[in-house]
Structure 1
Amino acid sequence: MPIPRKQLVSLADTPYYHCVSRCVRRAFLCGSDPYSGESYEHRRRWVESRALELARVFAIDICAYAVMSNHAHLVLRVDEAEAQQWSQRDVVERWHQLYKGNLLTQRFARGQAIAPYERDTLDSIITEYRRRLADISWFMRALNEPIARQANQEDGCTGRFWEGRFKSQALLDEGALLACMAYVDLNLVRAKMAKTPETSEHTSIRLRIAAAHKGEQPKELLPFIGNERQQMPKGLCFNLKDYVSLVDQTGRVIRKNKRGCISSNAEDVLARLNIPTENWLQLTTSFEQLFTGPVGATKSLDNYCRHHKRRRRHGATACRALFG
């Protein structure tokens, strides 16, 4: 029996999660269907645009993403503290960007008077909206449902488009987070759909590299903020240049028809995370095959399983071997 989502997503352990949604049909979500000859390449834009739009509404940041032919990867960070800082009006306005709400919230949004006997009901509704706007399940629901309806309408059919449940993996520490991000960013290179990270369409690494050429970071993604220091802003505790270099060098190595190596700058990042180069290459080519549950160093995994009172530690052997 699948583990309930509320047990898979535990913000007390980590705010970072790797989510994967897969298409159930033989026909590809995107790309060209070899059977019918139909091209669905435009649907990759649907998924990417919708995900980036949702990141502006939810208290959930996107660290990395890749839209493939029949599935989509997202590495998400839940920012529960941000959701708690929103005013009631902020919550309602954000929710109404996605859903209609009800007559009471619509009146509240228009600034109309709320009767005293309606106040408790309104407060309860807004509390629920606030919770949903920091909930990964609602984020994935708001992403997948419109795409499914749009694709069904285009195909002239009904029924499921995605699998019933999206896959969710807890990323318990910096090593697991960085390895998963690189794995996601290199999906198209590994699948031979792109030759380099910067030409990998509908991926976060392409968006980051395009912005970096202008000396910027994409506003739609969680930014890289450098090494830890006092009064840290919100972001990923790595240097953007080092990460892009690491992904680029890794992409060169895993392409069997190209010679390549991990540069000294990239090795500095791996040394900080205590991940040998050989282990890094295995992580960034086989992340999903190696891990089916929470991912992190042995200590992080032990703490997670102890917190959830789990006796079985899925993936413990791989975590111990690859993260130390």
Structure 2
Amino acid sequence: MDIPEKFRALRVQEQDGKYITQIEEMETSSLPEHDTIIKVYFSSLNYKDALSASGNKGVTKNFPHTPGIDAAGIVLKTNSDNFKVGDEVLVTGYDLGMNTPGGYGELISVPSQWATKLPAGMNMRESMIYGTAGLTAGLSIDKLIRAGVKPENGPVLVTGASGGVGSVAVAILSALGYETFASSGKKSAEDFLKKVGAKEIISRDSLLENANRPLLKEQWAGVVDTCGGEILASVLKSCKYSGSVTTCGLVSGMNLNTTVFPFILRDVNLLGIDSVELPLERKVTIWNKLAHDWSSEKLESLATYCTLEELPKYIDEILKGQIQGRVVVDLHS
């Protein structure tokens, strides 16, 4: 397949201390010199992308820059024995979209070890409904299952449930037969969360009621926490005996102020989730589960679609906490 000399990308420019997004025509020769070039068909919007687009130096150090930590597309060139030209692949995590030009460009150049073949039974568009958020949700659910959390053990809770990770987790858990409760600070998200599989919606205020106590009433066999901070501290206290809590986010804070009581009196497990530097073989395992055993008929209900031209609007909305579910970026239409 021919490699075009130019391609379009959503670029973030730093101008007088402000960060401006605009679509630019780029020279293919400007891409990093890695061993695999991919034509991007779909990407997705994650909170980390919005941070990059707004100049957060903890995510992206140098500008101008092309965000997009997710990409699904077709291999145009590779030196890898794992792929051939024309293969459909996806890339999530590592340095893509952080300091390496990301999936908001029609072409990316990456090390082959960042990419994995698209699993059978999943198309490129579906893979980006999941994206990093869906992979993170899958990793969380996998850890709960491996820790012994079964549907018959009792209800499970997802915090920050209207966001990308949370909404995918609700859809998968309900499809797997878990009695799934969803917590959200957005009253407007209730209908959406029930549509994707939540049995009941719990307000953030309810989760934090009596949160100063060292232990709370046992409720949850398992929890997928996307919030951190005081929310995480509270759900640890209300976990059932030998229950497990996964944690992957810090929207409610990066500090965890709690006691050891949930761990030494109720045998509770706190399980950390990382989807960025995860070994590729673990990613492949989860992607295959998402494509088959964990597939959900609710998947399409999670998705909103946009073009590169429309993307800045959604970047602004996700920074304001106004996005429900997943935003998929179509670079092909």
The structure that is strand-richer by fraction is 2
Say yes or no: TM over 0.5: no
TM-score, normalization by structure 1: 0.25
TM-score, normalization by structure 2: 0.25
The structure that is helix-richer by fraction is 1
